[in-house]
Structure 1
Amino acid sequence: MGRGKSNDSKNAKVKEKTKMQLKRRIGCFDGVSFIIGTIVGAGIFVSPTGVLKHSLLNVGVALTIWTASGLVSLMGSLCYAELGTALPFSGGEYSHIKRGLGSVPAFVFIWTSTFTKPASNAARALLFAEYVTQPFYSICPAPEVLKKCLALAVLWSLGILNGRSVKMAAWVQTVFTLLKMMALSVIAVGGIVLLAGGRKENLARFEDMFGSEMPNASQIAEAFFQGLYAYGGWWSLNYMAEEMKNPSRNIPLTVMTAVPAVIVFYLLNSFLLSLLEIQNMVPTPLLMLFFLAVAVAVTWADRVIPSVAWIIPLSVAVSIFGALNSSIFTLGRLSYAGSQSGHLPVLISMLNVHTCTPAPAMIFSTTIASIFIIPSDLIMLTNYFGFSAWLMIGLTCASLIVLRYREPNLHRPYKVIGNKL
């Protein structure tokens, strides 16, 4: 009898040890790649045009707005770092809102995100298809069917990859992050060479950077919004907090490495892209900037590196691909967390037996994104996910404040103000 109880106890321990759960396989370097890879999408090739336009081509104001946008993003990422270290669970904002504000706001968040975030992925996939196919058709528009098929192929390829292996997804993210940073470096070096040439018309623009017409408050707000768009994605690390090695140390360290690095690269590239006389390329609606990214970048390349101008459209495609991979990775964790809490069907919380990855959650989110590709209306998609994203960020930061008062004794390895690493 005693031996039977002993065996039952041992079996229980074995089951506990072999319980299916996400593994901690993401290190600091992988985290940096995911954050940079998510932030640096098409935005840096697009938003400088919008920021300059709404700054009335005042270079000093434009660079100030880029700096302010970066600092706001950095402060937001530090708030998320505190939440991620105190509550290192999958689901990011969903888990934090649920703990801080309750189940009802979390329920609204998960069901809103179930559609808005796949819509964002659908927009990225369509943009990738646009930039890859258009060079083969010169001035003629690429067939819509071809773009949709390519977008679906990329979406499902990355969805399957992320559902099968965390290591492979992290490897792909690292490679494409390095490629896009190389592309930004090429732009930066080319711009420095242009400045070093000593053309008076180039240098004259920076002798009195604040000397031109000053924008009004409304125009500054528009420019600031577009700057924030380019920094979007700094919140991605919290979605994978449950899989971070030593989250208490690595989450704040990763954030403090990745976000300032992006700010530096953005400021440098925005400064150099300001050399272009692009007044005739600046569109009026914000969302039309998506379609002018290649035009602006190719014009820059034709002036600075005409022999390899093709590298710019390729760089835009690489940037979007890396951002899409990171977004698919984090979205699977969000669906997984929502299912574990009972706010989504329980089937989605299951893990792949061999790899311990949330494969059903990946299939679920990728299927919804595929549906959004069918109408292929980028303006509708970006309108759909843009406003809700910042609303949810506001709720998450509110949950940080609520938890400070409601749970003052909650173990916080990192605090935005007060504690050292």
Structure 2
Amino acid sequence: MPATLAILSIVFVESAFSAAGVTDQAASLSHKLLSVLVLLAMSVANSISTRASTRLNGFFVLTKFVAILAIVVAGLAVVVLQTRDPDRDVGGRDWFDRSWFAYRNTTNPDGSETDWSKLGQWEMLGHYSAALYGALWAYSGWDKAIYVSAELRSPARQLPLAINSAIPTIIVSFLVANAAYYILLPWRVVSTTDSVAVTAITRLLGQGFGIVAAILICLVVAGSLLGNSFVAGRMAVAGANKNWFPRLFAAVGCIGPRAGDTSAPGRRNRTPVGDHVAEEEEDVGDEVTETNKSRPDAPINAIILSFILATVYILAGNFRALLTFNGLGEYTFFFLTVLGAIILRFREPGLHRPYRPLIVVPVIFALVSGFVVVRGAVFAPVQAVVLLAVWALGLAFYWARKRWLVGVGCESARHGLDSQT
């Protein structure tokens, strides 16, 4: 999640600068610091309250579809103009002059060129898996709905409905937007810019329209940034309520610890945490006072944690490296989670399952995600090594905590036996 926040912050800044024709300064310190500033603004917005965040996010979702529609309309206009006058120089022309599926050399960000016709199949699969991370990251959102399922009144009914309607919408939007990009821009430009939409509109209609497009795209990115920051905070709260994170990150409505927020006996935690841990606490009735309703409920400590981690990623990485790193991390755990679900389907067939897809769906997902992770790790060894280091730290923490809990349990049992004696 911090890697996703870092990527979105970088895209926000690059989209703004693309309207002015600046497309090669992403690695500069000034761009990185501006990305951190954008991330800070969204983190502060999420720290106000849950209700304010969700209302603001609704506006951003509408903006997102308006932006996609504008890009598609621009692409259709170019198609009409080009077919009416084949000699007219409008848009990218690559879509009109060349086969959409034929090999053509790609200009890389460092200035080198990739000749696809000379690559072997194994190398092609490496590039394909790396490119797939971008598509999978763009599709991302179906998994985020799971993390905030405690926000829903009837998750068993509402969650499948949301996912099954959102995924086709996202896929169609992604395909038509990318087709429009290819129509609006030459291939050599598409492969070198990290803000394709703004570059396309600026090239087609001029800098004035490019600025408008930049504002629209920045709003779109801000919406994604706000939503992902919202989810990142709730994930940390859920982890803290399970004692996987320090209890500090379970506190809501304050900076630093505050007694009684989530762990005091006899109180029920009504803050959305992406899990139903709160249901395990003692229920003292469903009556909620006006004071509780108006009390701040944003997980500020958890939001600060995600901001700090994302800032490290912004300063240390770049858009494409972070995209691959994020894909490797996410899809490793997606693969393991879905593989576990498949195993449980056979090991415990009678287990209660609020969601039960056809077995072929998780099997296909596990096969594809497993391939993407393995080939992606070979293709991007640096990111894979960093990820392995993160795993090693996590496993060491898990092992140490497990040993500590066993020691605490034995000590408590001994004291209990002594007191009985």
Specify if TM > 0.5. Answer: yes
Q: Secondary structure of 2:195's match?
A: helix
Q: CA distance change for structure 1 residues 194 and 363 in 2, over 3 Å: closer, same or farther?
A: same
- Contact 2:94–2:186 under 8 Å retained in 1: no
TM-score of the pair, normalised by structure 1: 0.60
Q: Secondary structure of 2:47's match?
A: helix
Q: CA distance change for structure 1 residues 118 and 273 in 2, over 3 Å: closer, same or farther?
A: closer
1:335 to 225, 230, 236: 236
Q: Secondary structure of 1:416's match?
A: coil
Alpha-carbon shift at residue 166 of structure 1 (Å): 1.3
Equivalent in the alignment of 1:321: 222
Whichever residue aligns with residue 228 of structure 2, its letter is: S
CA distance in 1, matches of 2:38, 2:94: 45
Q: Secondary structure of 1:274's match?
A: helix
TM-score of the pair, normalised by structure 2: 0.60
Q: Secondary structure of 1:342's match?
A: coil
Q: Secondary structure of 1:310's match?
A: helix
Whichever residue aligns with residue 42 of structure 2, its letter is: L
1:279 partnered with 2:187: yes
- Contact 1:239–1:334 under 8 Å retained in 2: yes
Matches of residues 131-280 of structure 1 in structure 2 within 5 Å?
Answer: 131-133=15-17, 135=19, 141=25, 144=28, 146-197=30-81, 198-199=83-84, 201=86, 212=102, 217=121, 218-219=123-124, 221-222=128-129, 223-276=131-184, 278-280=186-188
Relative to its length, the structure with more helix (as a share) is 1
1:357 partnered with 2:298: yes
1:118 partnered with 2:2: yes
Equivalent in the alignment of 1:15: none
Q: Secondary structure of 1:395's match?
A: helix
Whichever residue aligns with residue 218 of structure 2, its letter is: A
Equivalent in the alignment of 1:389: 330
CA distance in 2, matches of 1:133, 1:309: 10
Q: Which moved more, 1:202-211 or 1:259-268?
A: 202-211
- Contact 1:294–1:316 under 8 Å retained in 2: no
Aligned-residue Cα RMSD (Å) equals: 3.5
- Contact 1:298–1:312 under 8 Å retained in 2: no
Equivalent in the alignment of 2:309: 368
Q: Secondary structure of 1:357's match?
A: coil
Equivalent in the alignment of 1:44: none
Q: CA distance change for structure 1 residues 158 and 277 in 2, over 3 Å: closer, same or farther?
A: closer
Alpha-carbon shift at residue 205 of structure 1 (Å): 5.2
Alpha-carbon shift at residue 371 of structure 1 (Å): 3.5
1:311 partnered with 2:252: no
- Contact 2:42–2:226 under 8 Å retained in 1: yes
- Contact 1:294–1:312 under 8 Å retained in 2: no
Q: CA distance change for structure 1 residues 374 and 391 in 2, over 3 Å: closer, same or farther?
A: same
- Contact 1:129–1:150 under 8 Å retained in 2: yes
- Contact 2:251–2:299 under 8 Å retained in 1: yes
Whichever residue aligns with residue 308 of structure 2, its letter is: T
Q: CA distance change for structure 1 residues 209 and 252 in 2, over 3 Å: closer, same or farther?
A: farther
Whichever residue aligns with residue 170 of structure 1, its letter is: T
1:408 to 346, 349, 358: 349
- Contact 1:127–1:320 under 8 Å retained in 2: yes
Q: CA distance change for structure 1 residues 270 and 151 in 2, over 3 Å: closer, same or farther?
A: closer
Alpha-carbon shift at residue 140 of structure 1 (Å): 8.9
Q: Which runs of 5+ in 2 are unaligned?
A: 105-116, 254-260, 262-294, 360-421
CA distance in 2, matches of 1:153, 1:372: 14
Alpha-carbon shift at residue 146 of structure 1 (Å): 4.4
Q: Which moved more, 1:244-253 or 1:398-407?
A: 398-407
Cα shift readout 1:58-80 (whole Å, capped 9, x = no counterpart): xxxxxxxxxxxxxxxxxxxxxxx
Whichever residue aligns with residue 231 of structure 1, its letter is: Y
Whichever residue aligns with residue 165 of structure 2, its letter is: T
CA distance in 1, matches of 2:78, 2:24: 32
- Contact 1:134–1:142 under 8 Å retained in 2: no
CA distance in 2, matches of 1:207, 1:328: 43
Q: Which has the larger radius of gyration?
A: 2
CA distance in 2, matches of 1:146, 1:272: 31
More RCO (CA 8 Å, sep 6+): 1
CA distance in 2, matches of 1:282, 1:196: 21
Q: CA distance change for structure 1 residues 146 and 135 in 2, over 3 Å: closer, same or farther?
A: farther
Equivalent in the alignment of 2:374: none
Q: Secondary structure of 1:309's match?
A: helix
Q: CA distance change for structure 1 residues 243 and 299 in 2, over 3 Å: closer, same or farther?
A: closer
Q: Secondary structure of 2:350's match?
A: coil
Matches of residues 292-311 of structure 1 in structure 2 within 5 Å?
Answer: 292-294=193-195, 297-303=198-204, 308-311=209-212
CA distance in 2, matches of 1:175, 1:348: 28
Whichever residue aligns with residue 323 of structure 1, its letter is: S
Whichever residue aligns with residue 140 of structure 2, its letter is: G
Equivalent in the alignment of 1:47: none
CA distance in 1, matches of 2:23, 2:352: 59
Equivalent in the alignment of 1:22: none
Alpha-carbon shift at residue 238 of structure 1 (Å): 0.7
CA distance in 1, matches of 2:44, 2:158: 27
Cα shift readout 1:44-98 (whole Å, capped 9, x = no counterpart): xxxxxxxxxxxxxxxxxxxxxxxxxxxxxxxxxxxxxxxxxxxxxxxxxxxxxxx
Q: CA distance change for structure 1 residues 147 and 273 in 2, over 3 Å: closer, same or farther?
A: closer
Q: CA distance change for structure 1 residues 372 and 205 in 2, over 3 Å: closer, same or farther?
A: closer
Equivalent in the alignment of 1:398: 339
Q: How many residues align?
A: 295
Whichever residue aligns with residue 227 of structure 2, its letter is: S
